[in-house]
Amino acid sequence: MIVTTTETIPGKKITTVFGTVKGNTIRARHVGHDIMAGLRTVVGGEIDEYTKLMAEAREQAIDRMKKDARRLGGNAVVGLRITTSMIASGAAEILAYGTAVKAED
C-alpha cells in the first residue's frame, strides 16, 4: 500500500476517495527503561529506550491506519499526518491519519 504525506501520488491517478482513515496506539513507559532514561538525563544524550518505544508505536499506528484503508477498499493513503499526545503520566497516544484512496496507473 502506498502511503504518502502529499495529497497526490506522482504517476498515479486518484480515482476514488474513501474518506478519512486512522490508526492509533497508546504506549506506557516501562519501569526498567525509566531507570536507564533517568541516568541518561543526568549524563546527557539520546534516550534510546524511548526512541525505540516511539518508533514502534508510530509503525503500529500506521499499520492500523493501513488496515482501516483496506477495509474501505483503498489501495493508498494520501495526506498522512501523525500526532502525539500525553494522556496520562507516563502514557502517550500516537495517532496516524490520512485519506484512503484508490490510485491507478
What would the pLDDT profile of 71-100 be if each residue is shown by its tens digit? 999 999 999 999 999 888 778 899 999 999
> Of 17-21, 53-57, 79-83, 95-99, where does mean pLDDT reach its minimum?
53-57
The pTM (predicted TM-score) of the whole model is: 0.84
Contact 69, 16 (CB under 8 A): no
Domain boundaries, the chain: 2-104
Q: What is the DSSP string of 67-85?
A: HHHHHHT-SEEEEEEEEEE
CATH architecture of 2-104: 2-Layer Sandwich (3.30)
